[in-house]
């Protein structure tokens, strides 16, 4: 089986697992057994109050997005984000159209990538830009109300407002460094807390299947630890659902007020 087929199989398995987790969460919060999740944007589950949840599970990393050139060129929010959209396009355009050309002269193209990656890290050091980027990437610019995380059989619900506040206040942004002599610095933008990486923005260049795409990953356990540490107020909604911070007041508000 070739790499493309393996990639499609893995993606199919991830989608199925995501669909199963969404149905499991839907049932845990009282939605019917025939619930069908919304496949648009970041809306994994729409709860009884009509609020949207981005549901994350995974074991190690969350893939927040994997976008190609067209997405950054046409998305008005990325384009309006203080030049972030243009810089993301420049990262992609630093690489040649053909994967074989990149493989042949990758050191040259990696040097070209350093310029927009360096500028991205500088822009993200402005808290307003960092917040706008996280809001767009994780919540589709406010379309989604909650981040819900499945962990050890329970669902942990955080509001978009709380998540953005914690990430914006605590993350530091820098570029990756060359650790060994055969590595090239400034190939990624790193989102860090107390010296450890919580997220990475990078070019996907390891496979012809996803060549010339930008991937934004976050490390699940490290992000969860930060959220747990900074949002101390917690309340059980039921045995499988826990609410944090503002979610205690806002989750299923319209249902509980009936």
> What number is the average pLDDT over the span 101-124?
97
Q: Domain range spanning residue 186?
A: 3-256
Global pTM reads 0.91
How far apart CA 89 and CA 65 sit, in angstroms, is: 15
* Percentage helix, strand, coil for the chain under 3-state DSSP, each rounded to 5: 45, 25, 30
111, pLDDT greater than 50:
yes
Task: State the helix-helix crossing angle for 127-139 and 84-93, rounded to 10 degrees.
Answer: 70
| Domains contained in the chain, number | 1
| Of residues 4 and 63, more confidently modeled | 63
For 146, phi then psi, to 5°, come to -135, 145
pLDDT score recorded for residue 1: 45
Residues facing 199 on adjacent strands: 191, 218
Other CB atoms within 10 A of residue 90 CB: 18
Question: 15-19, 109-113, 181-185, 188-192 — which is least confidently predicted?
Answer: 15-19
């Amino acid at each position: 089986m070739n790499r493309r087929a393996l990639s499609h199989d893995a993606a199919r398995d991830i989608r199925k697992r995501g669909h199963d987790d969404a149905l499991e969460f839907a049932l845990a919060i009282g939605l019917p057994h025939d619930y069908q999740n919304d496949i648009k944007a970041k809306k994994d589950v729409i709860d009884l109050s009509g609020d949207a949840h981005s549901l994350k599970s995974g074991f190690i990393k969350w893939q927040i997005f994997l976008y190609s050139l067209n997405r950054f060129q046409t998305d008005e929010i990325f384009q309006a984000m203080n030049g972030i959209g243009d810089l993301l396009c420049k990262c992609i355009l630093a690489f040649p159209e053909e994967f074989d050309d990149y493989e042949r002269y990758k050191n040259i193209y990696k040097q070209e990538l350093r310029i927009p990656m360096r500028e991205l890290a500088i822009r993200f050091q402005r808290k307003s830009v960092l917040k706008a980027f996280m809001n767009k990437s994780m919540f589709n610019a406010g379309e989604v109300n909650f981040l819900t995380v499945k962990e050890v059989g329970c669902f942990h619900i955080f509001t978009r407002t709380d998540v953005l506040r914690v990430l914006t206040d605590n993350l530091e942004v820098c570029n990756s460094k060359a650790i060994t002599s055969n590595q090239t610095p400034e190939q990624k933008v790193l989102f860090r807390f107390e010296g450890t990486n919580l997220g990475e923005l990078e070019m996907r260049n390891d496979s012809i299947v996803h060549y010339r795409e930008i991937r934004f990953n976050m490390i699940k356990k490290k992000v969860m630890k930060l959220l747990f540490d900074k949002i101390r107020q917690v309340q059980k909604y039921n045995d499988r659902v826990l609410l944090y911070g503002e979610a205690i007041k806002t989750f299923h508000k319209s249902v509980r007020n009936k």
